[in-house]
Chains A and B, each alone.
Chain A
Amino acid sequence: MAITDPPKIVTSRIGYDDSHTLERYLATGGYEGLRKALAMTPEAVAAEVDAASLLGRGGAGFPAGRKWSMLRKAPVTYLVVNGDESEPATFKDHLLVERDPHQLVEGVVIAAFALQVSQVFIFLRGEFALGLERVQAALNDAYAHGAVGRDIFGSGFSVDVVVHPGAGAYICGEETALLESLEGKRGFPRIKPPFFPAAIGLYGDPTVVNNVETMSNLPWIVRNGGAAFAALGGGRSTGTRLFALAGHVHNPGVYELEMVTTTFDDLINAPVLGGGIPHGRGLKAFIPGGVSAPWFGPDQLDLPLGQDEVAEAGSMLGSGSVVVMDDHTCAVRAAWRITKFFSRESCGQCTPCREGSGWLERIMDRIERGEGREADLDLLLDACDNIAPGLTWPPQQTTICVLGSSIPSSISSAITMFRDEFLVHIKEGGCPYD
């Protein structure tokens, strides 16, 4: 079977120019999953999602079914969809909200029914101007079609869905910061415990937060059954997943691939996927799951695209973004830019994150500019160790949210893998790649 063969679960429509319209959606099986769900009991719908063993696609990979059932003891008041998508080099939800907004709406209403929730907020990052318009237009059409709102398809079930625009802050992707932002406040992550908004969420009420891609899988799962989804992939990583491939490859883009049966090598090098590295260059390193993830080198190319497989190898599949760096890339510059991002986006509540990211950025900057000292390497690692003691994977947490503990990944990867390159910067007084 070719790597591109498995069923397209969430990207089946994106080949159509009008994939975002209700007409195209209805002509391609749209809202059939919802009709089927409404004829079932809410518990039976949740059981299908449980059987699918759908892992959350927002980064933490928590099983959606378990998140929902954990909460069913107390009635859930709100469902909040996380469409903040700001993890660098992650651009899969961007595709889903612009190109298949009805699929998201249908997934959301199915989840609302399973959870018996009557109020949903779809939080989309504010920079998605077109995405915000597409989802609002889809909702307007879905209301008129009877798929959202009062007495959906005559089932007696009602739900209101509100699109909420963010205003530009990476940290609002962290679910408790998102809820604060949705309450009209600064996006400050909340202190844990409680660990799950399921217990105390929006306005203090039980709230389920799920990612856009997680929701977009639901129409297919209900139509085809959880078992059909679980038959794809392997181990805990079932179904397909969107991988956002960026950086030095011939064909960057979003690819829907079966989990586990596909490897990083396939994704990056297969002619029908990434197509390999341009200009005849070699692979230096790749980041397997968003900039919070430790880097991998060429010897890890054969790893399967599976959550546990990547975790065991010392990194994470995270947000499903893969960044490829060719052998002309300066590792110091790459790690500096990632650190600068964290420094800019730290919300400032925790000292290790706020101060640590700023100091790390400045030290990295001076090394890149050729003004570093040899002692800076130990200084960098020491500062990293203060943020995430022991520099283990997964990292120890000293901060309110895991943005803090994600900061050291890129620096410690770069130093471990490319120590000589740091030393050349320091000894030669400049960047060898300039």
Chain B
Amino acid sequence: MTEPTPLAPPRRAALAPAAPTHLSADVVARARQLIGLYPEPRSALIPLCHLAQEQDGWLTPEAMVDIAGLVGVTPSEVLGTASFYDMLHTEPVGRYVVAVCTNIACLLGGAGELLEHAEDSLGIGAGGTTPDGTVTLEEAECLADCDRAPCVQVNHRYVGAQSPESFDRLIDELRSGARDADIPPHGTLIRVHRANGLAVDPDVVVEERRAAAEAKAAREAAAAPATGGGA
């Protein structure tokens, strides 16, 4: 029997994390805050991808290199993770990603017809982007707004059930900038940021938990029936 070949040591151990070069100083500062919220830096990978999309509108290769350095993985691990998720776009998308849900409740509410209309009216198929780079059309799975079927989201903001006519008006409004106040450009997901830093110091918490465990043990000892010494 041959000995199993030992696995090569992880390559990333040898990689010195490079300083971010693509993400802006402001984004990097926010990224570092996010990383600080998690016990392990890698947990911030997806939130950081959202941040990068906020800066660039999509997840660029340069941003993925920066994210890799920030959370301590390789760029291909960032790509390998990001490519699993529908909301992370590793190809450019339009300023507005318009998602039409065609899942069961919306299908029953006419989503198939709405999507066909959207394709005709925009002149692109689902997954495509208009030549002017304004609108990317997506056929979405359930968006959890099924009582307003067929459900449409623009940049992940609900815009309510749409008919073919109202859909065209919506696109006109997007193009004219009339919806700029309630619908930010694609990539901006969360505009409310955490107001407080790390409110809990992990070391202090460990100490508190130990104290709580002792208190619990004391409570249990007190609650145990006093059987007079012999067990």
Contact = CB atoms under 8 A, between A and B. Distances in A.
Interface of A: 41-43, 75, 85-91, 93-94, 116, 118-119, 125-130, 132-134, 136-137, 139-140, 143-144, 148-150, 156, 158-160, 162-170, 181-187, 203, 244-248, 252-254, 287, 291, 321, 323, 325, 329, 333-334, 337-338, 341, 344-345, 347
A245 B108 CA distance: 13
Contacts of A165: 46-47, 50, 189-190
B47 to A, nearest CB: 6
A127 B104 contact: no
Given A127-B156, A165-B47, A91 B205 contact: no
B39 to A, nearest CB: 6
Contact of B43 (A125, A126, A133, A184): A184
4 closest residue pairs by CB, A with B:
A168-B86, A184-B45, A167-B85, A168-B87
Q: Which of B40, B82, B213 has the most CB of A within 10 A?
A: B40
A266 B182 CA distance: 38
B108 A345 contact: no
A160 B198 contact: yes
A347 B86 CA distance: 12
Contact of B142 (A90, A137, A143, A325): A90
B88 interface: yes
Contacts of A338: 104
A242 B100 CA distance: 25
Interface residues of B, number: 61
Contacts, number: 201
A431 to B, nearest CB: 11
A222 to B, nearest CB: 19
Nearest to B188: A129
Report whether over half of chain B's contact residues are helix, strand or loop; otherwise say mixed: loop
B48 to A, nearest CB: 9
Contact of A185 (B81, B153, B193, B200): B81
Contacts of B195: 140, 143-144
Contacts of B149: 246, 252
B167 interface: no
A215 B198 CA distance: 23
B220 to A, nearest CB: 8
Interface string B41-80: 0111111011000000000000000000001010000001
